[in-house]
């Protein structure tokens, strides 16, 4: 459940500007301000069920954007590569193994292709 919420937050960060004003408003309250469904429903004078339905529909829209554009996946892949590079640099600082430099080079070359 927590991972699903984190993914929704990330997708909203990447694609939120592509949503309608109402979707954007509700998702901002839900993702960025961590409001509950009840709090969002009170602020917008709509039912809690309407908020829930809007979030679920918007989640599908965001997933569709990700399936088409893949920005979040590419960002995640690059972040993992940079973390691996940092790990290899730390290992090199203690071992001075030349093979680690080659590993770093391979990761960088793969990322700039």
Q: Please report the pLDDT score of residue 110 as a whole number.
A: 79
Q: Please report the pLDDT score of residue 113 as a whole number.
A: 67
CATH of range 2-69; options 3.30.420.40, 1.10.287.70, 3.30.1490.20, 1.10.10.10 = 1.10.10.10
Instruction: Read off the pLDDT of residues 31-83 as tens digits, 9 standing for 90 and up.
Output: 999 999 999 999 999 999 999 999 999 999 999 999 999 999 999 988 888 88
Identify the CA nearest to 65 among candidates 112, 1, 17, 32.
Answer: 17
Give the start-to-end residue ranges of the domains of the chain: 2-69, 73-111
Q: Please report the pLDDT score of residue 32 as a whole number.
A: 94
Q: pLDDT band at 8, cuts 50/70/90?
A: very high
Which residues fall within 8 angstroms of residue 64, CB to CB, at 6 or more apart?
none
Higher pLDDT, 45 or 3: 45
Say yes or no to pLDDT of 97 above 80: no
Q: Please report the pLDDT score of residue 59 as a whole number.
A: 97
Q: Please report the pLDDT score of residue 54 as a whole number.
A: 97
């Amino acid at each position: 459940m927590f991972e699903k919420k984190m993914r929704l937050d990330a997708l909203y960060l990447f694609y939120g500007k592509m949503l309608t004003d109402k979707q954007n408003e509700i998702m901002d309250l839900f993702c960025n301000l961590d409001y509950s469904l009840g709090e969002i429903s009170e602020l917008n004078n709509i039912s809690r069920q309407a908020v829930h339905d809007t979030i679920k529909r918007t989640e599908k829209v965001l997933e569709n954007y990700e399936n088409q554009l893949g920005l979040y996946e590419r960002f995640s892949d690059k972040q993992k590569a940079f973390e691996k590079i940092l790990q290899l640099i730390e290992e090199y600082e203690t071992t001075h193994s030349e093979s680690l430099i080659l590993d770093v080079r391979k990761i960088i070359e793969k990322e700039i292709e």
